[in-house]
Amino acid sequence: MSNLLSLTNITKSYGEQQILSSVSLELGRGDIHAVVGESGCGKTTLLRIVAGLADGATGRVYLDGNDVTHLPPEKRRIGLVFQDYALFPHLTVAKNVTYGMRGKTKSEKEHTLERLLAIMNLPESAMRYPHELSGGQQQRVALARALALDPALLLLDEPFSNLDPIRRQKLRDVLRDLADGQETTSLIVTHDIGDAFKVADYITILKDGAVVQTDTPANIVVNPANEYVERLVDM
């Protein structure tokens, strides 16, 4: 199986402070890959570089075999779900989800909307507004909006951090269903290794901007690369 995303020697500094140091990783098609680390380790910066939202980095970003290192975000076919959801409060769920679907007919938009709201278990929510939804429902609307653009890759920034345990599990189920049923490839950054273990096929652990270990959850538990990983797994 060929890789959908390849990062090669990604390095990023702000002034004299190095945020990322020669980070390389690969995502197979249909995989969920979690980048885990403590606050300040560089994981969100890495996500922004993949999305094309952070400049000044060195290294290469390849998507579906193409070098997209210098392409703007709108040319990368990447869907991004922000930690704060970033929904438009004055628009209905339907208009939020279909907002970026330029060049589509009305019937195409309606079909996509119906399909995605069914996947997100929100079939009756099209005419509701964000403030009428729970945090978990808003998160799923944000996810539907990202998927409406038919992205090659889905990026999620701390998707579980604002959710209670029940809604966290529901979102994990949705992401796994997308990966297993529709072969959606996702890159997730999270500080919570427990969430990563429960949803990811592969995990990359960052410390001080450098990769400490990349492996399956099971292998990380059995063969932690060092004491830092071992402590992280035991938390």
Confidence of residue 16 (pLDDT cuts 50, 70, 90): confident
| Structural domains for the chain | 3-77+151-234 (3.40.50.300), 87-150 (no CATH)
For residue 183, what pLDDT is reported? 84
Q: Are 141 and 85 in contact (CB under 8 A)?
A: yes
Burial degree of 8 (CB within 10 A; 0-12, 13-18, 19+): middle
Say yes or no to pLDDT of 1 above 70.
no
DSSP state of 28: E
List phi, psi (to 5°) of 189: -110, 135
Contacts of 161-165 with CB under 8 Å at 24 or more apart are 161/83, 161/190, 161/191, 161/192, 162/83, 162/135, 163/135, 163/136, 163/139, 164/135, 164/136
Task: Give the tens place of pLDDT for each residue, 153-190.
Answer: 999 999 888 788 888 888 888 898 888 887 889 999 99
Task: Give the tens place of pLDDT for each residue, 31-50.
Answer: 999 999 998 999 999 999 99
> How far is 75 from 71, CA to CA, in rounded Å?
6
Task: Give the tens place of pLDDT for each residue, 59-118.
Answer: 999 999 999 999 999 899 999 998 888 899 999 999 999 998 888 899 999 999 999 999
Residue 163 contacts by C-beta under 8 Å, 6 or more apart in sequence?
135, 136, 139, 171
Q: Are 12 and 54 in contact (CB under 8 A)?
A: yes
Beta-bridge partner residues of 184: none
Say yes or no to pLDDT of 235 above 80.
no
